[in-house]
Amino acid sequence: MLTTHMLGLNVPRQNILITGASSGLGLTMAKQFADKGYDLILCARRVSQLEQLKQEILTVHSQLKVEIYALDVNDHDQVFAVFADAKTKFSTLDKVIVNAGIGKGASLGKGFFEANRETAQTNFVAALAQCEAALEIFRAQNHGHLITISSVSSQRGFKGSMNVYAATKAAIASLTEGIRIDVLNKPIDVTCIHPGYIDTEITDKVNVPPFIVDAETGCRAIIKAIEKKKATAFVPFWPWALVRYLLKIMPVSLLRKFT
Averaged pLDDT, 86-104? 96
3-state helix, strand, coil split of the chain in percent (to 5) is 50, 15, 35
The span from the CA of 76 to the CA of 129, in Å, is 6
- Which range, 121-125, 197-201, 249-253, has the best average confidence (pLDDT)? 121-125
Asked if 106 and 25 count as a contact pair (C-beta separation under 8 A), the reply is no
CA contacts within 13 A on the Cβ side of 136: 12
The span from the CA of 72 to the CA of 126, in Å, is 9
pLDDT of residue 5: 45
Averaged pLDDT, 147-172? 95
Average pLDDT of the chain is 92
**Residues with catalytic annotation?**
165
- Using pLDDT thresholds of 50, 70 and 90, give the confidence band for residue 172: very high
Percent of the chain residues past pLDDT 90, beyond the cut: 83
pLDDT of residue 3: 47
The span from the CA of 221 to the CA of 98, in Å, is 17
Per-domain boundaries in the chain: 15-258
Who wins on pLDDT, 183 or 206?
183
Superfamily designation of domain 15-258: NAD(P)-binding Rossmann-like Domain (3.40.50.720)
Asked if 156 and 163 count as a contact pair (C-beta separation under 8 A), the reply is no
pLDDT of residue 206: 56
For the cut 50, the answer to whether the pLDDT of residue 10 exceeds it is: no
Averaged pLDDT, 203-230? 88
DSSP letter string, 157-226: ---GGGHHHHHHHHHHHHHHHHHHHHTTTSSEEEEEEEE--EE-TTS-SSSPPTT-EEHHHHHHHHHHHH
For the cut 90, the answer to whether the pLDDT of residue 257 exceeds it is: no
The span from the CA of 168 to the CA of 105, in Å, is 12
| Burial grade of 71 (CB within 10 A; 0-12, 13-18, 19 or more) | buried
Instruction: Indicate the pTM of the whole model.
Output: 0.92
pLDDT of residue 256: 79
Whether a cis peptide bond, with omega within 30° of 0, leads into 239 is yes
96 phi and psi, to 5 degrees? -130, 125
